[in-house]
Chain A
Amino acid sequence: MASIKILIVDDSITIRRIITNALKTVGFTDTIEASNGKEALEKLTSGKIDFIITDWNMPEMNGLDLIKEIRTNSVHSNMPILMITTRGTEHDVVEALQAKVNSYIMKPFTPQELKEKIDGILKTVQVSTE
């Protein structure tokens, strides 16, 4: 498996640790963390990041605004982004898709579900860039 660097964005330290550990168990060991969208944007500009996993509800800048910012203003507009959230109404999913999130996963998730989502996104991104 090619090594990719994943940025985990969540205001809960517990969830960041859980995602980090879950990723480790399925082979993704290179991760960094941010506690909100604003911090994520700073990390994005300061280092090489291949993939973003973000929560929705966060202070300062929420996940949805982060995605919109990346898609419209950033040089990283094609960055693969997976949203992990407790929000699961049709309206929420549609709103996230309209913001151009690559995929969406509900909490609670398993490491395997996480891996499948990441692999699925990477496959799609690879196909679209070929």
Chain B
Amino acid sequence: MNQQEVEKVLQKAAEVKVFCEYGQRTIPVLDDIAGFLNEISPAIEDLKAVLEVAMVNIPKAAGQLGRVTEATEQASTQILNTLDKMVATLDQVITSVSTGMVSSDLGVATNKMAEIVKTLVEKSGWDSDIVELAEAWAAHLRSIKMSGTTSDLERLLKELQDDCTEIMMALQVQDITQQHIGTVMGTIQAVAEELRKLTTGFFSAPTTQAVSIDLPLPNDSEVVGDMERKKMVETLLSKARAGEL
């Protein structure tokens, strides 16, 4: 072995030494990585299971919300049908009551008749037939005095009709909730879609696209009350009319 060959062996020995030193430093790191992978492996399996369950449950939840919308729409239609019938019936009753009032409102003629009956009784010397006529007339007068009550009845019926209208208007909530539920369903479906991409990308094939969830955020009209929203709209309309928009 000549000098050159000795130097070559020493160089190789130095390389092996460096490699061994590097190995001594990297082996613990590799051990740690292997340990970490062993530890998270069940967690990844759990996450996969959770995502699989979510992929089944999320569309189910969206379906349930859809059924809520259908059920409220059906209920609203039934309530509207009943209210329509009630309003029509109330219309007929109010017409009958007001017609009855007109026919019983004899006014001056009634008073004149009362005077004539009274005179007849006195002139007849309280003849029994005339007295009977007077009593019948008194009963008739009492029914005429009922017109005040009849007037109250008409007012009450009209109030009932107004109440029916109020209930009807309150049913707008069905359409409002339907639209909000529609937005929530859209959000749920977007989440489901992103989860699907995540599961297929992470657990099956490598994905080339970055996973991002672009969800519709609630707009300012959804975080303020009805009155506030209406005020805001009216302010904007006024500005538009004034050419300020």
13 A-B pairs besides A18-B168, A94-B240 with CB distance below 8 A are A12-B73, A21-B87, A21-B165, A21-B168, A22-B168, A25-B165, A57-B179, A90-B232, A94-B236, A104-B233, A104-B237, A106-B230, A107-B176
Question: Per-residue CB proximity of B162-196 to A under 8 Å, as 1/0?
Answer: 00010011111111101110000000000000000
- Cβ B80 vs Cβ A17 within 8 A: yes
Chain B residue at minimum C-beta to C-beta distance from A103: B237
Question: Per-residue CB proximity of A1-36 to B under 8 Å, as 1/0?
Answer: 000000000001111011001100100000000000
Contact-residue bracket for chain A: 20 to 34
Enumerate chain B residues within 8 angstroms of A110, measured Cβ to Cβ. Answer: 169
- Cβ B170 vs Cβ A108 within 8 A: yes
Q: How far is the CA of A106 from the CA of B229 in the complex (A)?
A: 8
Q: How far is the CA of A123 from the CA of B76 in the complex (A)?
A: 34
The smallest beta-carbon distance between B24 and chain A, in angstroms, is: 64
Question: Per-residue CB proximity of B231-245 to A under 8 Å, as 1/0?
Answer: 011001100100001
Enumerate chain B residues within 8 angstroms of A109, measured Cβ to Cβ. Answer: 169, 172
- Cβ A97 vs Cβ B221 within 8 A: no
Chain B residue at minimum C-beta to C-beta distance from A10: B175
Q: How many A-B residue pairs have CB under 8 A?
A: 81
Enumerate chain B residues within 8 angstroms of A22, measured Cβ to Cβ. Answer: 165, 168-169
Enumerate chain A residues within 8 angstroms of B21, measured Cβ to Cβ. Answer: none
- Cβ A108 vs Cβ B168 within 8 A: no
**B: number of interface residues (CB 8 Å):** 31
Is A86 part of the binding interface, using a Cβ–Cβ cutoff of 8 Å? Answer: yes
Q: How far is the CA of A105 from the CA of B233 in the complex (A)?
A: 8
Question: Per-residue CB proximity of A79-91 to B under 8 Å, as 1/0?
Answer: 0000000111110
Enumerate chain A residues within 8 angstroms of B219, measured Cβ to Cβ. Answer: 89
- Residues of B at the A interface (CB closer than 8 Å) are 73, 76-77, 80, 84, 87, 165, 168-176, 178-180, 219-221, 226, 229-230, 232-233, 236-237, 240, 245
Contact of A108 with B245 at beta-carbon distance under 8 Å, contacts A18-B172, A103-B237 already known: no
Q: How far is the CA of A13 from the CA of B230 in the complex (A)?
A: 24
Enumerate chain A residues within 8 angstroms of B84, measured Cβ to Cβ. Answer: 17, 21
Contact of A108 with B73 at beta-carbon distance under 8 Å, contacts A14-B80, A87-B221, A93-B236 already known: no
Q: Which of A14, A89, A93, A105 contacts B76 (CB 8 A)?
A: A14
Enumerate chain A residues within 8 angstroms of B173, measured Cβ to Cβ. Answer: 108
Is A65 part of the binding interface, using a Cβ–Cβ cutoff of 8 Å? Answer: no
Contact of A18 with B169 at beta-carbon distance under 8 Å, contacts A86-B175, A92-B221, A108-B176 already known: yes
Enumerate chain B residues within 8 angstroms of A93, measured Cβ to Cβ. Answer: 233, 236-237, 240
